[in-house]
Amino acid sequence: MSVKEDVAFEDHAWLHLRATQRVSRAFSQLNLFIVHQVELPVNPNFIVKIPKNIRFENYTSSHGQLYAAGAFTYSENGLTQASAGRYCSIGGNLSVMGERHPIEQVTSSSFTYCYFPNYNKPQFLRGHEQLLGNAYPPKLPPIMTAAPPKLEHDVWIGQQVILQRGVILHTGCVVGAGSVVTKDVAPYTIVAGNPARPIRTRFKPEICERLLATQWWNFHPKVLFEFGFADVAQFCQRMEEAIAAGTLEPMPVRVLTWKDVLDTVNEIA
C-alpha cells in the first residue's frame, strides 16, 4: 500500500489519515490512542484528523481529531478547541463558547463581519454579493480574536461543561459537571455553577503552594507511586528532597507533530 492510500486529505492546515493497517501500527508505535481502543481499529472509512498547527505528546487519547495535549490526558468527547497540559481528565460534552458578538455596535449581527467563505454563513455571502455588490471587504473585529481555552496540568472537567474562550484553567483545578466557566480558575480550586464560582480548594493553601513548586508533572510518572500519591504532604516532602538531591528523572515522552505521525506511517512497510 502506498502512503497515498493512507492520506485521505492534506492541505496547509490539515492532515487527514484513513485508519488503515499502517496508520494503526503508526499510532501504536507512537503511543497515540483513539477513544478507548488499545489499538486503532482498521477501518479505512474512519478518518483521523490532525491539525498542522499543534503539538501533542504521546500517551494521549482523542476521539479522532488530535488536539494540543500532554501525556496522560484524555478527553471523552471530540472537543479540540482547547489546549491541555499533562494528566488532564476531560468529561463528555465539553463545549467552547463561540466568539462574542459586538453588542456595543449598531447591530450585534455577524452580517457586518462574518461573511468569509469558510464561516458557514451562505446567507451573508449571498446578501453581500447580490444586495451590496461585494463592496465591503470583510474584516474581523478585535472581539473575534479571543484565544481558545487553556488547561494547565492535572485539570479535571466534569460532564456538560461550557468554557468561555480565553479562560485559563490552572493546574490542579476541578470544574463541576454542568458548569459555565467565564473566568480563569485558580490552581487547585474547585468551581461549579452558572457562572462557575469557587467552592473550595482541594488542599490547604500551603500544600497547594508546595505541590505547584514541585512541578511533579514534569518528572517520570513513577514519582507518583514511589513517593505515595495518596498522602499529599508526604509526597511533597519526598519530592522536595529528591529535587534538592537532583535524583529525579524527566518525563520520558515525545513531543509530536503531524509530520512525526506521517513519517512513522511512511516508515512502516
Nearest to 174 by CA among 154, 194, 193: 154
Alpha carbon distance 62, 120 (integer Å): 25
The grid cell for 152 is: 494547565
Q: Which domains does the chain have, with CATH numbers?
A: 1-71+253-269 (no CATH), 77-95+147-201 (2.160.10.10), 110-142 (no CATH), 203-251 (no CATH)
Per-residue pLDDT of the chain (269 residues), as tens digits, is: 456 789 999 999 999 999 999 999 999 999 999 988 889 999 999 999 999 999 999 999 998 899 999 999 999 887 678 999 999 999 999 999 987 888 888 999 989 988 888 777 899 999 999 999 999 998 877 656 678 899 999 999 999 999 999 999 999 999 999 999 999 999 999 999 999 999 999 999 999 999 999 999 999 999 999 999 999 999 999 999 999 999 999 999 999 999 999 999 999 97
- Residue-level pLDDT at 36: 81
| Strand-pair partners of 55 | none
- Residue-level pLDDT at 147: 85
Output b/e per residue, 177-211; b: 16+ Cβ within 10 A: eebbbeeebbbbbbbbeeebeeeebbbeeebbebb
- Residue-level pLDDT at 81: 80
Distances (CA, A) of 99 to 141, 166, 254: 10, 10, 33
Q: CB–CB of 189/179 below 8 Å?
A: no
Neighbours of 16 (CB within 10 A): 15
Alpha carbon distance 155, 75 (integer Å): 11
Taking the alpha carbons at both ends of the chain, their separation in whole angstroms is 8
Query: Any idea what DSSP says for residue 114?
Result: -
Alpha carbon distance 258, 61 (integer Å): 15
- Residue-level pLDDT at 154: 98
The grid cell for 264 is: 512513522
Residue whose entry in the numeric block shows the C-alpha cell 534538592: 244
The grid cell for 219 is: 518528572
- Residue-level pLDDT at 79: 67
Q: CB–CB of 80/13 below 8 Å?
A: no
